[in-house]
Amino acid sequence: MPSDQDRILARAAREVVSGQIVNLGIGLPTRLFHYLPTEMEVLIHSENGVLGCQPLAPGSEADLEMIDSGGAYIGTRPGASVFDSALSFAMIRRSRVDITFMGAFEVDQLGNLANWKIPGKFSPGIGGAMELAQKVDRLVVLCSHNDKHGNPKILRQCRLPLTAPRCVSRIITDKAVMEVTDAGLEVIDIAEGLEVAALRAATEAELIIDEQRLGRF
């Protein structure tokens, strides 16, 4: 039985199209690389200034001047480039990054995202998340459907400070795959073995569900 995180990542890998430029956020999204087919030709962008990075091959020696934005030592693939921070964010603001994957504290049915600050508890600074969220055309949120106390993270309206308003395209959790549409949050896939009623009970947001067309993952 795969873990919840494995299932989220395996499903998320299906969102990537060969030829894309892809940014992977810190935490769970960083691991997505390992779920992409090896023959897939994509360039991974890391906002500290590299396009075409990849995890270090096991056993290979780290280059101390090559890290990704999460601080892990990295290698590069053919066609890679390195550049300064202003250029890296120009690439983001000009929407040259095709798709980005990020974690979330909260995400809502309008596509608002909160993933950087919990006032009074956690405020390390926003880093590169605001510009990625606002300017990358397709933002896919990868997160657990509920927090560790069981509270819903998929809300009617975010309560925490926003990373960016109306920026999320799709949400992939351990329970469902949801697309943000003009009509609301549409469930595309539901987790294997989960009842629709149980999904609704675990979610604060209103969900649009067409049981005839619902996929499983």
82 interacts with another protein by CB under 8 A: yes
CB of 19 to another protein, least distance (A): 24
**Does 204 participate in catalysis according to the annotation?**
no
Amino acid letter, residue 71? G
Q: Which residue, 152 or 161, is less far from another protein as judged by CB?
A: 161
User: Which residue among the candidates 15, 39, 41, 47 is catalytic per the annotation?
Assistant: 47
If the CB atoms of residues 66 and 194 are measured against another protein, the closer one turns out to be 66
Task: Give 67's strand partners.
Answer: 73
- Among residues 16, 26, 44, 102, the one that binds another protein under rule CB under 8 A: 26
Does the protein bind another protein through residue 125 (CB under 8 A)? yes
Question: Smaller CB distance to another protein: residue 17 or 90?
Answer: 90
CA 58 to centroid of chain Cα atoms = 25
Least CB distance to another protein at residue 139 (A): 15
Please pick, from the candidates 12, 42, 92, 139, the single residue that binds another protein as defined by CB under 8 A.
92
Amino acid identity of residue 105, one-letter, is: F
Which amino acid, residue 207?
Answer: L
In the set 23, 88, 115, 203, which binds another protein (CB under 8 A)?
A: 88
The residue from 13, 54, 144, 165 that contacts another protein (CB under 8 A) is 165
| Three-state secondary structure call for residue 114 | strand
DSSP 18-29: TT-EEEE-TTGG
Give the span between the Cα atoms of 20 and 41, in whole angstroms: 8
Nearest-approach distance from CB 86 to another protein, in angstroms: 4
Please report where in the chains the tokens 């066609």 appear, as a residue.
79
- Give least dist CB 149 to another protein, A: 23
Q: Which of residues 36-65 bind another protein (CB under 8 A)?
A: 46-50, 62-65
Q: What stretch of H or E contains 5?
A: helix 4-13
Tokens linked to 51: 């396009």
- Span interacting with another protein, options 9-17, 77-85, 103-111, 184-192, rule CB under 8 A: 77-85
Whether 209 and 197 have beta carbons less than 8 Å apart is answered as no
Q: For residues 217 and 214, what is the distance between their CA atoms, to the nearest angstrom?
A: 10
Say if residues 120 and 126 touch (Cβ distance below 8 Å). no
Binding residues for another protein, rule: CB under 8 A, are 26-27, 30-31, 46-50, 62-74, 82-86, 88-89, 92-93, 124-131, 134-135, 161-165
What residues are annotated to the active site? 47
